[in-house]
Chain A
Amino acid sequence: MLNIALVGNPNSGKTSLFNHLSHEKGHVGNYPGVTIDLKETFKEDFHFIDLPGIYSLYPYSEDEKITTSFLKEKPLDLVLNIIDGTSFQRGFYLSLELMELNLPLFIIIHMEDLLNSREKEDIEYILKANHLPYLFVSSKTKVGINQIEKSIKNYQYKKCQLPYFTTTFLTLSKEDRCKKRYTYIDSFPFEKKKIKTDLDAIFLHPFFAYPLFIGILVLIFYLTFGSLGPWLQDLLTKGLELLSSSIENSLIDIGIKESLIQLFIQGIFKGITSVFSFLPLVMLLFFFLSLLEDSGYLARMTYLMDKPLSYFSLNGRAFMPLLLGFGCSVPAIYATRNLLNQKSREKVIPLVFFISCSAKIVVFSSIVPLYFSPSWLMIFFLYLLSALFGLIILKFKKKDEEEFFLMEMPSYKLPILKNTYYLMKDKCKDFLKKVFIFVFLSSFLLYLFDHIKINEELSLLESVSKLFHFLFIPLGFTDWRISYALINGFFAKETIISSLDILIGLENIKGVLSPLSAFSFLLFVLLYTPCLSTCIVTYQEMGLKRKAFYLLIRQFLLAYLVSLIVYQGGLWLISFF
């Protein structure tokens, strides 16, 4: 078994190569954007390890620490050093550092399709001078992809003596060592071509950039919640209803007991379908997020958001995890590893709680259209409101030192559909897994407990729910079933809707929630404690565990307070008319 690590600069295409290498058997699970943890795959005699991108062996952010400590501690048979050919010098700087450690290197020059013959000659000249084996590869045109494994098999390590790497070199300061390496790199002729950033003239235009930015976000919301999404959802719902009734009929035909059919159809099946029908909306959102990222616009959003976020002593990099939070809080919290240090991470993690994840889509798109129109605008307003709450809370914190912001701007690219497809497939799996585990279980138990009677009037579910129901009455949720759904939602937000659908029926919601209490309900769902998985990840990723508890409790109290004020204040206002 050969241990092979993939090492290279961030955004040099390690992950797409890793996907190629592991394509047949290997499991590739990745969050959109940065690789923030080790990923590995076994294939024949190879053990490939994909590491988060690094610029140098002096770690700077949290995810870089993972890579550098891995390289220094684990014995490796080969390092596949991936260099983006369009930014060769910076990539080669890392190769020099790896060579100084005597690691067996094989160089892969990625993005071959973007290089002209002159640039290739320059690159080949440097690599040959340093006796480094290499291969030009493009994951777009597939050049060289199939030769990688053969090259690995034929690989033989040759030690190379770097001319600047003398005994005195090691006594120099790290700054001077860095300068020496660049002097060495600059001693080779190199023609530099500018990467494609022409579109920045539009997307980063001093005046039009922000309207465009907001326009793009509004368009995504409109397509997801206003037109395309609901249309697809409608189709799916109709299909599921047909399926449900045909299953019910065939079950009756076989002669299965009525109560069992009811448990299956009115309990489990109803619960699952009420959530499952939101699959198109969730998929659309992830689709747009991946388009933003793959096209290179996400990096521009970071650039544009740096100044606004600096008022909250954050920097532009915080925007990426926050945007991911619209998909799911769990990857968003992991993505904060991309930030400089633990301190800035702990500023961003609580902010993620204020970003409504795709599970809340299920709640908002079920409830909002019953009361408000146009519903997509109301949903947009809710999202905005919650982000505002988060920022206001951050503003109350005492201001600390300004953060440093340095961000590489990738070139604009047409997104590769295959890549998007991989991502969507993973997200789809995650969503289905959640539906079938959490929603299945909660629907089953819910139906059961609702039908176990303590006495003629009272079901077991109702009697238990009433223990905490009094807490929710001041918020305008007079029906105990609403309170129950909210508690259930702590495990997974989707179950709020599946339980409401089973207990009350979505079409009857209007009977138990007045418009004012519906608004209070939406605010409560918007703000209250995130789901169990998010709580666990928060606990893992916060330095002080105590602080994680504090944050989660604070979140609940905040939601409670806001709903209370809105509902009671609303009642008070209404009393004047």
Chain B
Amino acid sequence: MKLTELKKGQSAFIQEIKKNDEHAFRLLELGFVSNTKITLLRKSLFHGPMECLIRGYVFALRYQDASLIEVKLC
């Protein structure tokens, strides 16, 4: 499933990032590698950015970018 399909407060393991550009690489460098636990903290209205917790820090991502991250529920 996609990261965007998680409900608020749900955690999952990252499988892969379905894109291969500089933005996807930046996500990898920030620790969005496979088997890393990610928790969705907050979504906003009208598909605005979402907040997620990874490795102890909080990142905000755009909805479109988050939908490229494939995850598996824990």
Contacts and interface: CB of A to CB of B under 8 A. Distances in A.
Contacts of B56: 86-89, 192-195
A409 interface: yes
Interface string A173-209: 0110011001100100000111101001000101001
A270 to B, nearest CB: 51
Given A90-B30, A204-B44, A206-B45, A174 B57 contact: no
Given A55-B30, A178-B25, A178-B28, A405 B42 contact: no
A365 to B, nearest CB: 36
A303 B42 CA distance: 11
A495 interface: no
A60 B26 contact: yes
Interface in B48-74: 48-49, 51, 53, 55-62, 64-65
Interface string A348-360: 0000000000000
A306 B27 contact: no
Interface string B28-41: 11110111100001
A86 B30 CA distance: 14
A219 B29 CA distance: 40
Interface in A142-193: 174-175, 178-179, 182-183, 186, 192-193
A206 B26 CA distance: 28
Contact of B62 (A182, A193, A306): A306
B33 A200 contact: no
**Chain B at the A interface: mostly helix, strand, loop or mixed?**
mixed
Contacts of B61: 405-406
A151 B48 CA distance: 47
B26 A90 contact: no
A563 interface: no
A93 interface: yes
Contacts of A197: 41, 51, 58
A449 interface: no
Contacts of B44: 204, 206, 209, 303-304, 307
A138 interface: no
A409 B41 CA distance: 12
Interface string B3-39: 0000000000000000010110111111101111000
Contacts of B46: 307
A178 B62 contact: no
Contact of A93 (B29, B59, B62): B29
Contact of A406 (B27, B35, B36, B48): B27
A407 B59 contact: yes
B23 A404 contact: yes
Contacts of B59: 406-409
Nearest to A402: B64
A182 B49 CA distance: 26
A489 interface: no
Contacts, number: 112
A200 B42 CA distance: 9
B58 A179 contact: no
Contact of B57 (A58, A90, A405): A90
B63 to A, nearest CB: 9
Given A178-B28, A406-B60, A60 B22 contact: yes
Nearest to A193: B56
B48 A306 contact: yes
A325 interface: no
Contacts of B51: 197, 200, 204, 303, 409
Q: Which of A86, A88, A307 has the most CB of B within 10 A?
A: A307
Nearest to A408: B59
Given A86-B57, A307-B48, A406-B60, A200 B29 contact: no
Contacts of A405: 49, 60-62, 65
A58 B27 CA distance: 12
B49 to A, nearest CB: 5
B22 to A, nearest CB: 7
A407 B61 CA distance: 7
B14 to A, nearest CB: 11
A58 B28 CA distance: 12
A384 B29 CA distance: 39
Contacts of A307: 44, 46-49
Nearest to A176: B28
A316 interface: yes
A194 B53 contact: yes
A238 to B, nearest CB: 48
Interface string A382-424: 0000000000000000000010111111000000000000000
A404 B55 contact: no
Contacts of A60: 22, 26
A315 B49 CA distance: 10
A420 to B, nearest CB: 24
Interface in A482-532: none
Q: Which of B26, B41, B57 has the most CB of A within 10 A?
A: B57
Interface string A295-318: 000000011101100100001100
A315 B61 CA distance: 11
Given A175-B28, A307-B49, A90 B55 contact: yes
Interface string A194-238: 110100100010100100000000000000000000000000000
B26 A406 contact: yes
19 contacts: A55-B30, A89-B31, A186-B35, A192-B55, A197-B51, A204-B42, A204-B44, A204-B51, A206-B43, A206-B44, A306-B48, A306-B62, A307-B47, A310-B62, A316-B60, A404-B23, A406-B61, A406-B62, A406-B65
Interface of B: 20, 22-23, 25-31, 33-36, 41-49, 51, 53, 55-62, 64-65
